Amino acid sequence: MGVEICVEGLTKSFGHQVIWQDVSLTLPAGEVSVMLGPSGTGKSVFLKTLVGLLKPDRGSVTVAGRDITKLREHDLYEVRKLFGVLFQDGALFGSMNLYDNIAFPLREHTRRSESEIRRIVLEKMDMVGLLGAEAKLPGEISGGMRKRAGLARALVLDPEIILFDEPDSGLDPVRVAYLNQLIVDLNAQIDATFLIVTHDIASARQVPDNIGLLFRRELVMFGPREQLLTSDEPVVRQFLNGRMQGPIGMAEEKDAAQVEQELAQIREPTGTPGSRPLTPRLLPGPGITRPPRWEAIAAREAELQRKEVADA
């Protein structure tokens, strides 16, 4: 079962540059959350702060009842065992085959026998669809396979929290679709807490339980998927609809008058302001049992769809 992460008043800067400030949110245990935001808004910095790789200027990050910002290195090391991380490029060792790459955390951090390690490695490789590729080197496989190998390695210590740093980067749309399905299936199977940093709007609409958006050094919103997808907050609407009109500019923030003029020229669709019809949620694949929370999610989204039809 995943664990809850509670973030309160988190602020991070490098020198005089404030990355984000006063960020507060709760990542619910066992759920999938996505963090969005334009390039340069500090999404990856936020991820590294959650796992204790970066220390914030102020604020707290409480994981399993412990504020990791106040822990000594030894105690922080113990809390980090709850985490698995999938880095952008998979972070595989180029000189090791996939089997040894995935076995590496078990050999480094446990005293398991090689027979136990083999059982675990093959089980995780099977979960991500890589059985049969044990002897291949990272340079011999596709980007999508490298991502899956990195995910298998993140899973071998049975983490209760998994962080994904732009898992879709460098992948074509078909591989992104396969990866999204894999993420949904894995969450249903292992019930860990997932946080995904991504730019991919299709993934953000289909995959998570919760969505957050960082912009202008602040957390604009964080909440249930359907709340963000139907929000009338201008920056949320602009980002999720992938359009030029709104507060986000190419190289810098737009002034308020320009934003107001642009938004006034947009003809909004009928129904909830600024929304398209709610994108259907990606479901676990055949034979995978849906977690109990899915019933409540489905009921909320069905009610929202009814309201949209009634308001149209």
The yes-or-no verdict on residue 262 having pLDDT over 60 is no
- Residue 269 has a pLDDT of 47
Inter-CA distances, 53 with 3, 36, 86, 166, Å? 19, 20, 14, 17
Would you tell me how many other CB atoms lie within 10 Å of the CB of residue 2?
21
Closest Cα partner for 225 from 236, 238, 235? 236
Where in the chain are the domains?
A: 5-82+159-225
Would you tell me how many other CB atoms lie within 10 Å of the CB of residue 179?
23
- Residue 266 has a pLDDT of 46
- Residue 175 has a pLDDT of 87
The yes-or-no verdict on residue 138 having pLDDT over 90 is yes
The yes-or-no verdict on residue 7 having pLDDT over 50 is yes
**Reported pTM:** 0.87
The answer to whether domain 5-82+159-225 has CATH 3.40.50.300 is yes
Beta bridge pairs of residue 12: 20
Q: Write the pLDDT tens digit of every residue in 276-287.
A: 567 788 888 898
